């Protein structure tokens, strides 16, 4: 069954990782387009400020404080969207963290924590969204990374989590298609973006963590997310240099 996606102005959209970076841009842009939005993040103070700002500009917004690595918290956030708005039309998985360290120097607890957010955050988001959109359909959009297509030393744990995310999303798409569930499962793979992820990242290296150059404007990711909320696209890669790097790795025999 082919998903039928609504115009943004008629949608209810849930966005994780909505307190900064790409998630924040997506939530604000969706609200400007007329969507009712529910923002999810761990930062209550930040969410309160963002929600107030959206409302001041005429948008409709609510928020839920949740760690996406906590399945029960994500379910509670999805329940709030249902209670406030009555349905969910688009769910955007964006929450993510990074570790700057060689793999052998990455402690197990930090590795587990990263996977809890980056991978299980997607698992929990997809589960919460799919169970609530199964009958009427909708868009399930996950923001992964171009790192899911190639290795990345120093960001190895982050890269591994994004490989896992891509495999999960692609497999889920096939399963829902086989069940004829009208949910469009879409994956967006950005190259390096000028977001605060480096500022918030853990690091076991000297110097300041930086996004691998060139760091693109994150609005370049927000725009395709809004496009996917209305149009079915299986995968979109954002950032030409990142795409070229992935192609180079695919053709390389040196690694």
Alpha-carbon gap, residue 245 to 190, rounded angstroms: 12
Residue 66: both structure tokens together: 């949740």
Residue 75 CA to chain centroid, in angstroms? 17
- The 10s digit of each residue's pLDDT in 132-159 is 999 999 999 999 998 899 888 889 999 9
Structural domains for the chain = 8-250 (3.40.50.720)
What residues are annotated to the active site?
Answer: 158
pLDDT in tens, 105-118: 999 999 999 999 99
Q: What is the predicted pLDDT for the residue at 241?
A: 66
Is the separation of the CB atoms in 37 and 8 below 8 Å?
Answer: no
How far is residue 73's CA from residue 86's CA, in Å, rounded to a whole number? 19
- Average pLDDT (245-249) is 68
User: For residues 149 and 2, what is the distance between their CA atoms, to the nearest angstrom?
Assistant: 27
Query: For 163-211, what is each residue's pLDDT tens digit?
Result: 999 999 999 999 999 999 999 999 999 987 666 665 555 666 666 666 6
Residue 52 pLDDT > 90: yes
CA pair distance 155, 97, nearest whole angstrom: 11
Q: How far apart are CA 165 and CA 171, in angstroms?
A: 10
Q: Bridge-partner residues for 101, per DSSP?
A: 155
pTM: 0.92
- Residue 135 DSSP label: T
Mean pLDDT, to the nearest integer, of 56-66? 98
Q: Residue 198: what pLDDT?
A: 55
What percentage of the chain reaches a pLDDT higher than 90? 77
Overall average pLDDT of the 210-218 stretch:
72
Q: How confident is the model at residue 47 (pLDDT cuts 50, 70, 90)?
A: very high
Reported as a pLDDT band with limits 50, 70 and 90, residue 97 is: very high
The arithmetic mean of pLDDT across residues 73-100, rounded, is 97
Mean of pLDDT over the chain: 91
pLDDT at res. 200: 57
């Amino acid at each position: 069954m082919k998903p039928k996606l609504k115009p943004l102005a008629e949608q209810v959209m849930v966005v994780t990782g909505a307190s900064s970076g790409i998630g924040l841009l997506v939530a604000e842009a969706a609200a400007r387009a007329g969507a009712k939005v529910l923002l999810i993040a761990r930062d209550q103070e930040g969410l309160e400020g963002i929600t107030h700002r959206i409302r001041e500009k005429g948008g409709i917004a609510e928020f839920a404080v949740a760690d996406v690595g906590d399945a029960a918290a994500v379910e509670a956030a999805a329940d709030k969207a249902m209670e406030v708005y009555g349905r969910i039309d688009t769910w955007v998985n964006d929450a993510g963290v990074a570790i700057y360290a060689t793999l052998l120097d990455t402690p197990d607890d930090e590795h587990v924590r990263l996977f809890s957010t980056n991978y299980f955050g997607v698992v929990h988001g997809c589960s919460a969204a799919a169970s609530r959109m199964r009958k009427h359909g909708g868009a399930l959009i996950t923001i992964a990374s171009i790192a899911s297509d190639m290795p990345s030393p120093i960001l190895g744990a982050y890269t591994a989590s994004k490989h896992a995310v891509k495999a999960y999303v692609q497999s889920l798409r096939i399963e829902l298609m086989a069940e004829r569930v009208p949910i469009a499962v879409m994956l967006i793979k950005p190259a390096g973006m000028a977001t605060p992820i480096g500022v918030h990242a853990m690091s076991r290296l000297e110097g300041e963590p930086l996004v691998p150059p060139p760091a693109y404007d994150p609005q370049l990711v927000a725009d395709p997310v809004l496009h996917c909320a209305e149009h079915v696209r299986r995968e979109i890669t954002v950032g030409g240099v990142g795409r070229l790097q992935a192609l180079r790795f695919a053709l390389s025999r040196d690694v």
